[in-house]
Chains A and B, each alone.
Chain A
């Protein structure tokens, strides 16, 4: 027993609680402090000598020899609360540990009375299987900090984040101010600093709240505190803001007069406006009307009809023809033929879609693109206002595009997100795409994923789009980094395709939903107690989730630095 690596307890196997291949218990020597998620090693047998079985502490319990609470009541002089016992009642704290791995692949149950020690950094890496991941695939995901002060960097295997073995990351929890977003941005930074061919990775970030992500290329005004610097360095990363960033900001109602985008804040540089004219949107009307109930597919049929009639059959591009040739703007579509009879001003039948359904379509579309719109829908897109789809399609490796949707209405947000997914999917999945200068991988980060892929909804154009990415993104190189408050509110096929789950503090009611069945009950109890800045991460190559800390992102964050 060395002083640096002291024995903290001995394993304990009893008739009622035997050790197994998957778990063991150990009692703690007096004065030793152990917490859930600490990683320990138990001495284990081996053909020649010994091996080490690593376990992660899931729960701790203290028991005494009092068979009932009544015994304790009586022991305190029949309920005297101020009595100090002369002899401390015999008791011990027992830690339950879930087996992570054995350094010699021996999964015999840990024998009774075997010494238990805190694992050191090398041991933690062995426990998590990090030692099996070649250096070039390691992406720092955070820092394990154990009760004895030991720290170890947790590495994810980039093959399970960016493909081809697995892909996608889901971040969930109610952990408070900007924790999920901060972690997502930190992880993207880590990937961009450490992954192979990082200059061939493109990143698309959707800014959904405030102006949080509209300053990711600016350093914090007062710099990062020293302890945050130290955390970054411990992880082997450089605290720096993003470089090569392009901001796409929505056109607003007042943009024509003041030139300002409809955003909570305007980045210092490299920002462009985007808007949707009918010509930009005619083939995405399904996304725009994704949230509209359409049980008889009448709206869908009309959208198909419009899409077909406004396309040039030769090029597949914008090209109204026949009785649709005068439909060039939103106003034309809503108020003129062929949807409206010019003589009566009433909706009329279009193809097989009856006049009454056309009328409903007009009402819905008018509400979205005229009445309640935020200014993103324009009759004619000015030359300096970009087409979002084209901008996304021009993404290059090493570039980060931030698309601001924070001030958009829900239907508009769905259109933008769907447009991005559809564009990227088309770039990577459809034959004939120009692929020469495409990034090898594209990471798309979006918060409030549950809005676009809600659970318990059978199908909608936006869900189909998200599912396409979730299910085929691994092989295409398109990575979805989604976040939401409640994982149970996200479509199970989206969550099920994520090979990395990151969980912040969550309520016990949420944790009891089937979405969290991959977590041990003891881990769930611990998740409900996580502090701000603490996350539990489950990765495809880890046998058990681990608790990590991560540094604050090194960019100007609204509400934190301001």
Chain B
């Protein structure tokens, strides 16, 4: 609650220098746009749309097949996934500050990331949890004096000040015409940075028998750089429940080459199967798709499929048996599901869902923020 007290003090200080148009009824929670994850996936790999390299090596098969069976292998047989990371945030629009002809929206957000550790009995414990408070405003939309004052106050209050006008890979997807729209992207960017920090901290505890599952893509920097160092594949797998729908996949060569859209690729993907591994960014990252559930039970062919990513420092084709092992462990994660609590339940990994909830439970409630954060 101290962070909110500091923040309230900051708002009062700034309000002495600028005119403010407070949000009606105090802070208003920004709702995350739907499918942001998918748009992020698209953005992070915008140049590549056609994937034609099957980037795995199987000593038993001259040419790896497009689909491979990966029956579930649960924790009691091979407890591969021990750590699960997810981040979450809650952001609030506090109002608009007016300074002469300039104006800037002001947002407050709490971002957090949590790593859960799974014990041998299937129960989970919190391994790490970090929460940050951030204040967002457009630096270019305010005078240097006001911005400096904000910086000073934020530093004193141990609140991160984020410039809404600064471009970054995540918020770049959004128009910067209205900075309010951009705020959500900036908050996600800050959250990904926090996730990257936690991944770095947790890396020493991982091994080829103790993997970390990260929610979403690994293409985000500095995560990818951390995982790309050295020659060995780091035991970190990114699992996205929502992914871009525009790539095309080419299998075979010459006149017999067959091009498939992602819809076709995944509609033919059977339950407990995975696709072949494809490479992105010249092999620095490899990815594949795994179908967790029977299509019979789902409304749409793309439901029940996750996209898995590995950072591949050697940029050499990855061993098929490693991908099989990861995929089999992933299929086993289909039990339990957050059905009824998250519309993406069909592709959501339950420990990731719990990690997200652990973050959410640690954030201030809407009521507390709305009561505390007033300009005057």
CB of A78 within 8 A of CB of B297, answer yes
CB of B294 within 8 A of CB of A78, answer yes
Bound complex: CA of A83 vs CA of B333, how far in Å?
A: 11
A83 to B, closest residue via Cβ: B335
CB of A89 within 8 A of CB of B340, answer no
Given the known inter-chain contacts A30-B123, A78-B294, A78-B297, please indicate yes or no for A87 contacting B338, CB distance below 8 A: no
Bound complex: CA of A496 vs CA of B350, how far in Å?
A: 56
Closest chain-B Cβ to A76's Cβ sits at a distance in Å of 6
CB of B333 within 8 A of CB of A86, answer yes
Point out which of B74, B123, B335 has the most chain A C-beta atoms below 10 A from its C-beta. B335
Given the known inter-chain contacts A86-B74, A88-B121, A89-B350, please indicate yes or no for A71 contacting B340, CB distance below 8 A: yes
A80 to B, closest residue via Cβ: B335
Partner of B335, one of A67, A70, A76: A76
A66 to B, closest residue via Cβ: B340
Interface size classification for chain A: 20 to 34
Partner of A77, one of B121, B334, B345, B351: B334
Interface residues in A422-481 (C-beta closer than 8 Å to B): none
Bound complex: CA of A76 vs CA of B294, how far in Å?
A: 13
Per-residue contact bits, chain A 40-68, to B (CB 8 Å; 1 contact, 0 not): 00000000000000000000000001111
CB of A71 within 8 A of CB of B350, answer no
Chain A CB within 8 A of B336 CB = yes
Bound complex: CA of A65 vs CA of B348, how far in Å?
A: 15
Chain A CB within 8 A of B248 CB = no
Chain B CB within 8 A of A85 CB = yes
Bound complex: CA of A358 vs CA of B338, how far in Å?
A: 84
CB of B340 within 8 A of CB of A87, answer no
Closest chain-A Cβ to B19's Cβ sits at a distance in Å of 38
Q: Give every chain A residue within 8 A of B335 (Cβ-Cβ).
A: 75-77, 83-86
CB of A85 within 8 A of CB of B340, answer no
CB of B337 within 8 A of CB of A88, answer no
Bound complex: CA of A538 vs CA of B337, how far in Å?
A: 46
Chain A CB within 8 A of B344 CB = no
Given the known inter-chain contacts A78-B294, A87-B351, A89-B350, please indicate yes or no for A71 contacting B123, CB distance below 8 A: no
CB of B336 within 8 A of CB of A75, answer yes
Q: Give every chain B residue within 8 A of A78 (Cβ-Cβ).
A: 293-294, 297
Partner of A70, one of B123, B293, B340: B340
Partner of A87, one of B76, B118, B341: B118
A90 to B, closest residue via Cβ: B354
Per-residue contact bits, chain A 249-278, to B (CB 8 Å; 1 contact, 0 not): 000000000000000000000000000000
CB of A86 within 8 A of CB of B338, answer no
Per-residue contact bits, chain B 200-211, to A (CB 8 Å; 1 contact, 0 not): 000000000000
Q: Give every chain B residue within 8 A of A86 (Cβ-Cβ).
A: 74-75, 122, 332-333, 335-336, 350
Bound complex: CA of A89 vs CA of B122, how far in Å?
A: 9
Bound complex: CA of A88 vs CA of B122, how far in Å?
A: 5
Bound complex: CA of A74 vs CA of B350, how far in Å?
A: 13
Given the known inter-chain contacts A84-B74, A87-B351, please indicate yes or no for A70 contacting B122, CB distance below 8 A: no
Bound complex: CA of A84 vs CA of B121, how far in Å?
A: 11
Interface size classification for chain B: 20 to 34
Point out which of B335, B336, B338 has the most chain A C-beta atoms below 10 A from its C-beta. B336
Partner of B122, one of A67, A74, A85: A85
Chain A CB within 8 A of B224 CB = no
CB of A89 within 8 A of CB of B336, answer yes
Q: Give every chain A residue within 8 A of B74 (Cβ-Cβ).
A: 84, 86
Q: Give every chain A residue within 8 A of B336 (Cβ-Cβ).
A: 75, 85-89
Closest chain-A Cβ to B273's Cβ sits at a distance in Å of 16
Q: Give every chain A residue within 8 A of B341 (Cβ-Cβ).
A: 65, 67, 71
Bound complex: CA of A77 vs CA of B341, how far in Å?
A: 17
Q: Give every chain B residue within 8 A of A85 (Cβ-Cβ).
A: 122, 335-336
Partner of B76, one of A66, A84, A90: A84
Given the known inter-chain contacts A67-B340, A71-B339, please indicate yes or no for A87 contacting B294, CB distance below 8 A: no
Chain A CB within 8 A of B129 CB = no
Interface residues in B334-376 (C-beta closer than 8 Å to A): 334-341, 345, 350-351, 354
Closest chain-B Cβ to A71's Cβ sits at a distance in Å of 4
B73 to A, closest residue via Cβ: A86
Bound complex: CA of A86 vs CA of B335, how far in Å?
A: 6
Closest chain-B Cβ to A62's Cβ sits at a distance in Å of 14
Interface residues in B257-288 (C-beta closer than 8 Å to A): none
Closest chain-B Cβ to A77's Cβ sits at a distance in Å of 6
Chain A CB within 8 A of B146 CB = no
A75 to B, closest residue via Cβ: B336
Interface residues in A379-435 (C-beta closer than 8 Å to B): none
CB of B354 within 8 A of CB of A87, answer yes
Chain A CB within 8 A of B43 CB = no
Partner of A74, one of B76, B333, B339: B339
Bound complex: CA of A151 vs CA of B336, how far in Å?
A: 41
Closest chain-B Cβ to A414's Cβ sits at a distance in Å of 64
Closest chain-A Cβ to B346's Cβ sits at a distance in Å of 9
Chain A CB within 8 A of B124 CB = yes
Q: Give every chain A residue within 8 A of B76 (Cβ-Cβ).
A: 84
CB of A70 within 8 A of CB of B75, answer no
Interface residues in B109-168 (C-beta closer than 8 Å to A): 118, 121-124
CB of B333 within 8 A of CB of A68, answer no
Closest chain-B Cβ to A30's Cβ sits at a distance in Å of 7
Bound complex: CA of A87 vs CA of B75, how far in Å?
A: 8
Closest chain-A Cβ to B332's Cβ sits at a distance in Å of 5
Bound complex: CA of A65 vs CA of B297, how far in Å?
A: 22
Bound complex: CA of A68 vs CA of B339, how far in Å?
A: 9
Given the known inter-chain contacts A30-B123, A78-B294, A78-B297, please indicate yes or no for A87 contacting B339, CB distance below 8 A: no
Given the known inter-chain contacts A78-B294, A78-B297, please indicate yes or no for A88 contacting B338, CB distance below 8 A: no
Q: Give every chain B residue within 8 A of A71 (Cβ-Cβ).
A: 337-341
CB of B123 within 8 A of CB of A65, answer no
CB of A88 within 8 A of CB of B123, answer yes
CB of A87 within 8 A of CB of B122, answer yes
Bound complex: CA of A65 vs CA of B338, how far in Å?
A: 8
Q: Give every chain A residue within 8 A of B350 (Cβ-Cβ).
A: 75, 86-87, 89
Point out which of A67, A75, A78, A83 has the most chain B C-beta atoms below 10 A from its C-beta. A75
CB of A70 within 8 A of CB of B118, answer no
Given the known inter-chain contacts A78-B294, A78-B297, please indicate yes or no for A87 contacting B124, CB distance below 8 A: yes
Interface residues in A76-111 (C-beta closer than 8 Å to B): 76-78, 83-90
Bound complex: CA of A441 vs CA of B124, how far in Å?
A: 63
Bound complex: CA of A76 vs CA of B74, how far in Å?
A: 13
12 pairs of residues in contact across A and B, judged by CB atoms under 8 Å: A67-B341, A75-B335, A83-B335, A84-B76, A84-B122, A85-B336, A86-B333, A86-B350, A88-B336, A89-B336, A89-B350, A90-B354
Interface residues of B (CB under 8 A from A): 74-76, 118, 121-124, 293-294, 297, 332-341, 345, 350-351, 354
* Other A-B pairs, 5, CB within 8 Å; known A71-B338, A75-B336, A76-B335: A66-B339, A70-B339, A77-B293, A86-B75, A87-B333
7 nearest interchain CB pairs? A67-B340, A88-B122, A75-B336, A71-B339, A71-B340, A85-B335, A74-B339
